[in-house]
Structure 1
Amino acid sequence: MRDVIDQANEIAQLELDHLIAERKTFQGESATHCIECNEPIPEKRRQLIKGCQLCADCQQLNEMQRSVSRKQR
């Protein structure tokens, strides 16, 4: 049986794969600091994910919350 961390990692990887595949559609500049926690967003993340506004940790939490929300429907 998979645990919560395995599920979270799978969700994060799926979202990252999707973002990379669709990165041509992102417009605008990435934020230098996360809009949720105000931590700096690493340069490499800002370059790879155009228009990103969240750090990796906040992005993962956001995805987990959306996943739980979808499952509750």
Structure 2
Amino acid sequence: MATGWAGDDAVQEQIDATVEDAIKRARSKLHHGPGLERCEECDAPIPEARRKAVPGVRLCVSCQEVQDRAESESSGYNRRGSKDSQLR
């Protein structure tokens, strides 16, 4: 069936590209190397267990929660919309 200028699998290609971009963005946010002993925001000590569990950790749990909350509020993803609304 002819679909105009778009190929038969254009929608799937767009979905795949969106997923790949999200994976690249998430990986770029991961820290590498040794973690800090003190939080870079509030200077509170970061427990050794957290430093072992999260390589490259830079924030204490409290500051990390604040940052995660701020990022999730402005993530820009339409998680409740239909599949078609996410493809625009």
Per the shorter chain, which TM-score range?
0.5 to 0.7
1:72 Cα deviation after fit: 8.8
1:36 Cα deviation after fit: 0.6
**1:36 and 2:41 equivalent?**
yes
TM-score (norm 1): 0.59
Aligned partner of 1:51 in structure 2 is: 56
Q: With CA pairs under 8 Å and 6+ residues apart, which has the higher RCO, 1 or 2?
A: 1
TM-score (norm 2): 0.50
Counterpart of 1:44 in structure 2: which amino acid? A
Aligned partner of 1:61 in structure 2 is: 66
Structure with greater helix percent: 1
- State the alpha-carbon separation in 2 of the partners of residues 61 and 30 from structure 1: 19
Q: Deviations over 1:16-40 (max 9, x none)?
A: xxxxxx8xx7521000000010000
State the aligned residue count: 50
Measured on the aligned residues, the alpha-carbon RMSD in Å equals 2.5
Identity %: 34
Counterpart of 1:36 in structure 2: which amino acid? E
Runs of at least 5 residues in structure 2 that lack an aligned partner in the other structure: 1-26, 79-88
The SS at the match of 1:70 is coil
